[in-house]
Amino acid sequence: MIPLGGSVRVELEARTGGALEAELDRDAWRALALQVGDGATAVPRAVRVFPAH
């Protein structure tokens, strides 16, 4: 979890093993109360794909 003012950014691991970054507001983050290793469902609203280096 990386705090970003009024929001937080979290790194998620996909079932396929790839990494995803999700950004959500602090109220949503607190309501979810996620801990490392918890399962979660992510539904993208805005997708940005960056080329691999």
**Residue 51 domain-assigned?**
no
pLDDT at 34: 87
Using CA atoms, how far apart are residues 20 and 42, in angstroms rounded to an integer? 9
CA dihedral 24, 27, 32, 37 (to 10 degrees): 50
Q: How many structural domains comprise the chain?
A: 1
In a structure prediction context, what are the per-residue pLDDT tens digits for the chain, which is 53 residues long?
666 678 888 888 888 888 888 888 889 888 999 888 898 888 888 888 888 87
Query: What distance in Å separates the CA atoms of residue 5 and residue 29, rounded to the nearest whole number?
Result: 13
- Domain annotation covers residue 16: yes
Query: Is residue 48, in this structure, part of any structural domain at all?
Result: no
Q: Which domain holds residue 14?
A: 2-32
Q: What's the pLDDT at 31?
A: 93
